[in-house]
């Protein structure tokens, strides 16, 4: 929880604060939230790795009901030069990029090999579609169950409405918040204990947009579910569109993850990590602020 | 300060270690006997949930405008066994589909006899386990009609499809369906693709169509159909050639 609960127990400061500052520790994330956060993190890591393994079985994406094999909008492929050297080629629309070493062609046991994503990004590492699917569907269930638990818990405890949905004051301050983020200026004091407006928007978008979307698009790829989800498949333009959007949501998670880790680091990695492991988050206030 | 630094270093190392163990660990776990079984248990859940949600719902049928210019063949595309070559050389005039196992009336049906049964034509999508989709128009007889002729006994639980095409390991392709899929109205034994005699790369003379499952369930080059109580004693025991290689028997997802 971002806001300071009324029952927060002030923990004695671990170190002597400088004269003008006051350091106090608040209980920021409840135990259920911390557990669900880490289950979610493990699920996303495995779903991403196994998803890329599945993608590698046919490393091309299309729009529409079926595959227009000559017109993927994204493909990871390879070309071979006259000397026999393999080059990884990533195509996005009509653009071509040489991505040798990472996409299209990467080393497997020291040998340049034609494969979409490299072994370090896939679960399992070697090409093994059946096993990738086994990992993916097992952790998809845990991801969904965990997500449903989070949603119910967040509704029940009002975490959703109190901590995640931006307040009117938040919306008014959005310009300032964008500027502050760009300048890497972060809130201090009591303001640091609550989620700021960009944080709230990011969490809501990633939970309900990427999270809900990636599950729905996964279901829309299932030939069995398509017998009852035809409307959803048609809504996005077809099964191959659903596969593309599923992939894009996964990329959305990566983008979120990178920004998330960046913000965790620049706003105090130790404090942040402790708060998501033990729940306790330290706030440092200058005396000035406390008198405001 | 020292304590905090130590704690930070510990947290950082713990995080890096967790990441490495997670990724490397997944490979190690994949090689064990037990982990794939645990992971595979999710398929039973998917099967139960999807069956409950979709029951006998029909797969989407498309219009002629949606048909793929080429129905991409996958897996075997030209069986080499002498038995199959001889049948193919004669335009499959001597072909007989055997239906046996746990049935009251074993059958041996020629293509002409199959064609004389009520036909069904459907334009459906074919989803490969690799991720791609093609759309084609299929004509054939509903499997349920053939099963009704053969009359499965009360102990029969699965329909096993044996094929002419030999795989890399020398065994012949096979597949199996439960009765829910076997009796689904869109489950066909098809002899025509896009209004023409089924080409050899797509499974001539007769192949299975199960549009609510992935491509590997739709056995090509059908030799015979057996009704069984269990497929545990057939080949690798997992109910199909790809299932024996670790793919899920339920391929609706």
Alpha-carbon distance values, A186 to A191, B213, B215 (Å)? 9, 52, 53
B44 at interface of A, judged by CB pairs closer than 8 A: no
**Mean pLDDT, to the nearest integer, of B98-109?**
98
The complex's ipTM works out to 0.92
Pair A283, A193: CB distance under 8 Å: yes
State the pLDDT confidence band at A285, using cuts at 50, 70 and 90.
confident
CATH number for the domain spanning B214: value is 3.90.420.10
- Cβ-nearest to B135 among A66, A226, A227: A66
Q: B135, A65: Cβ pair inside 8 Å? A: yes
B124 and B233 belong to one structural domain: yes
Pair A249, A214: CB distance under 8 Å: yes
Alpha-carbon distance values, A285 to B75, B79, B130 (Å)? 67, 77, 56
- Cβ-nearest to A131 among B23, B36, B213: B36
B67 and B26 belong to one structural domain: no
A67 DSSP 8-state letter: -
Q: What is the pLDDT of residues B22-70, one digit of tens each?
A: 677 899 999 999 999 999 999 999 999 999 999 999 999 999 999 999 9
Confidence at residue A1, expressed as pLDDT on a 0 to 100 scale? 45
Q: Which residues touch B117 (CB under 8 Å, ≥6 apart)?
A: B141, B145, B146
Rounded CA separation B195/A73 (Å): 31
List CB contacts (< 8 A) between B42 and chain A: 134, 137-138, 140-141
Rounded CA separation A218/A213 (Å): 8
B67 DSSP 8-state letter: -
Confidence at residue A19, expressed as pLDDT on a 0 to 100 scale? 55
**Mean pLDDT, to the nearest integer, of B103-118?**
98
**Mean pLDDT, to the nearest integer, of B12-26?**
71
Map out the domains of chain A as residue ranges: 29-60+120-290, 61-116
Tell which CATH architecture fits domain A29-60+120-290. Answer: Up-down Bundle (1.20)
For chain B, the domain total comes to 2
Confidence at residue B13, expressed as pLDDT on a 0 to 100 scale? 73
Q: Which of B:111-170 have CB within 8 Å of A?
A: 125, 127-135
B125 and B25 belong to one structural domain: no
State the pLDDT confidence band at A92, using cuts at 50, 70 and 90.
very high
Structure tokens at B173: 């392709």
B11 and B92 belong to one structural domain: no
Percent of chain B with pLDDT over 90: 89
Nearest CA in chain B to A42: B22
If you write DSSP's letter for every residue of B23-56 in order, what string do you get? Answer: HHHHHHHHHSSHHHHHHHHHHHHHHHHHHHHHTT
Q: What is the pLDDT of residues A8-22, one digit of tens each?
A: 555 555 555 555 678
Find the farthest-apart pair of alpha carbons in chain B and give their distance in angstroms, rounded: 88
Q: What are phi and psi of A61, to 5 degrees?
A: -125, 145
State the pLDDT confidence band at A6, using cuts at 50, 70 and 90.
very low
Confidence at residue A288, expressed as pLDDT on a 0 to 100 scale? 53
Pair A224, B49: CB distance under 8 Å: no
Is B251 within a domain?
no
If you write DSSP's letter for every residue of A268-287 in order, what string do you get? Answer: THHHHHHHHHTSEEEEEEEH
B151 and B43 belong to one structural domain: no
Q: What is the pLDDT of residues B222-233, one digit of tens each?
A: 999 999 999 999
List CB contacts (< 8 A) between B34 and chain A: none
Rounded CA separation B68/B137 (Å): 9
The three-class DSSP label of residue B7 is helix
Confidence at residue B2, expressed as pLDDT on a 0 to 100 scale? 61
Q: What is the mean pLDDT of chain A?
A: 92
Percent of chain B with pLDDT over 70: 93
The boundaries of the domain holding residue B22 are 2-47
Confidence at residue A11, expressed as pLDDT on a 0 to 100 scale? 56
Q: How many H helices and E strands in chain A?
A: 12, 8
Q: Is the pLDDT of residue A97 over 90?
A: yes
Confidence at residue B126, expressed as pLDDT on a 0 to 100 scale? 98
Confidence at residue A28, expressed as pLDDT on a 0 to 100 scale? 93
The three-class DSSP label of residue A125 is coil
């Amino acid at each position: 929880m971002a806001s300071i609960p009324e029952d927060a127990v002030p923990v004695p400061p671990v170190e002597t604060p400088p004269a003008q500052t006051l350091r106090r520790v608040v209980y920021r994330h409840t135990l259920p939230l911390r557990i669900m956060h880490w289950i979610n993190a493990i699920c996303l890591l495995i779903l991403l790795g196994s998803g890329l393994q599945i993608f590698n079985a046919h490393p091309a994406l299309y729009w529409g009901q079926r595959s227009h094999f000559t017109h993927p909008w994204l493909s990871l492929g390879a070309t071979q030069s006259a000397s026999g050297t393999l080059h990884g080629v990533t195509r996005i629309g009509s653009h071509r990029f040489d991505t040798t070493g990472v996409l299209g062609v990467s080393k497997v046991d020291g040998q340049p090999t034609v494969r979409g994503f490299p072994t370090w990004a896939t679960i399992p590492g070697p090409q093994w579609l059946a096993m990738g699917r086994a990992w993916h569907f097992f952790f998809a269930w845990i991801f969904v169950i965990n997500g449903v638990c989070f949603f119910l818990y967040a509704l029940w405890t009002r975490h959703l409405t109190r901590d995640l949905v931006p307040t009117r004051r938040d919306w008014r301050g959005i310009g300032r918040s964008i500027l502050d983020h760009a300048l890497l200026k972060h809130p201090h004091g009591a303001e640091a204990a609550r989620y700021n407006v960009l944080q709230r928007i990011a969490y809501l978008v990633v939970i309900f947009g990427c999270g809900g979307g990636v599950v729905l698009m996964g279901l829309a790829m299932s030939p069995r579910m398509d017998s009852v989800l035809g409307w959803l498949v048609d809504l996005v333009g077809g099964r191959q569109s659903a596969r593309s959007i599923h992939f894009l949501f996964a990329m959305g998670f990566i983008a979120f993850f990178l920004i998330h880790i960046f913000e965790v680091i620049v706003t105090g990695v130790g404090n942040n990590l402790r708060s998501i492991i033990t729940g306790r988050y330290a706030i440092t206030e200058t005396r000035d602020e406390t008198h405001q | 300060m020292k304590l905090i630094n130590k704690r930070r270093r510990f947290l950082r190392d713990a995080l890096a270690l967790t990441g490495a163990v997670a990724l490397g660990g997944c490979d190690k776990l994949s090689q064990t006997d037990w982990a794939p079984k645990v992971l595979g248990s999710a398929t039973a859940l998917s099967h139960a949930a999807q069956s409950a949600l979709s029951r006998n719902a029909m797969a989407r049928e498309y219009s002629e405008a949606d048909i793929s210019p080429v129905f991409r063949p996958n897996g075997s595309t030209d069986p080499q066994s002498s038995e199959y070559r001889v049948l193919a050389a004669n335009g499959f005039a001597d072909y007989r589909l055997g239906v046996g196992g746990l049935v009251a009336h074993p059958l041996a049906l020629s293509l002409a006899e199959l064609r004389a049964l009520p036909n069904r034509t459907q334009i459906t999508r074919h989803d490969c386990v690799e991720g791609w989709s093609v759309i084609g128009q299929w004509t054939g007889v509903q499997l349920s009609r053939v099963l009704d002729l053969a009359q499965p006994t009360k102990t029969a639980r699965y329909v096993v499809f044996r094929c002419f095409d030999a795989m890399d390991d020398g065994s012949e392709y096979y597949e199996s369906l439960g009765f829910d899929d076997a009796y689904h109205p869109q489950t066909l034994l098809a002899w025509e693709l896009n209004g023409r005699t089924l080409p050899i790369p797509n499974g001539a003379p007769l192949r299975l169509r199960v549009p609510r499952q992935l491509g590997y369930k739709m056995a090509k080059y059908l030799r015979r159909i057996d009704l069984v109580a269990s497929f545990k004693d057939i080949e690798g025991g997992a109910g199909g050639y790809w299932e024996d290689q670790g793919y899920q028997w339920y391929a609706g997802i």
